[in-house]
Homo-oligomer: A and B are copies of this chain.
Amino acid sequence: MSTDSDRHAMKMAKKKVARDKIMATKTDEKGLIIVHTGKGKGKSSAAFGMIFRCIAHDMKCAVVQFIKGGMSTGERDLILSRFGDICEFYTMGEGFTWETQDRDRDVEMAQAAWEKAKDLIRDPSNKMVLLDEINIALRYDYIDINEVVRFLSEEKPPMTHVVLTGRNAKEELIEIADLVTEMELVKHPFRSGIKAQIGVEF
């Protein structure tokens, strides 16, 4: 082994001790409120990745799409056709708000989606519930943020994970969340005239 490798081994050994020490203090388990926000890509994909992680572990889970198009139809079809027994999937929204142009209808849809979400979260057999693009419905006040905060704080079973996605997450939600990731856009191909592509965007 070269001296370079020796130095590396020593440095890494130290790092491992430090890390193991930190990890040993992390002993609690609880159901997390997880938020994916920001203008970057990956908010829904990462949430969908977690849903697949649950499916891989045979953990019951559920998805409510508040705005159609957040998670692609490809993903939905795959879950419905192959894993419908372990993951309930509901698409309640009709599309992005600038597509529908009817506020009353959007509010009605968002409310129905929220009622479904509450039922799914209340059912303790669901280990994870994903509320895809709910932040958009919250942003336009289709759903009352105070009601969502109250429900998640008071009625969510303690071991259930709830994942909420969408840009512009409200401060009140970030406040009560356990894990918040902001997907920040560094570079996007739309800027150079590349269109949304199968497998990447949908």
Contact = CB atoms under 8 A, between A and B. Distances in A.
Interface of A: 1-2, 4-5, 8-9, 12-13, 15-16, 19, 22-23, 25-30, 32, 34-36, 38, 40-50, 52-57, 59, 61, 72, 74-75, 77-78, 82, 97-104, 127-128, 161, 174, 177-190, 192-200, 202
Given A40-B182, A185-B181, A74 B56 contact: yes
A19 B187 CA distance: 19
Contacts of A185: 180-181
Task: Give the copy number.
Answer: 2
Nearest to A169: B186
A178 B189 contact: yes
A74 B97 CA distance: 36
A99 to B, nearest CB: 6
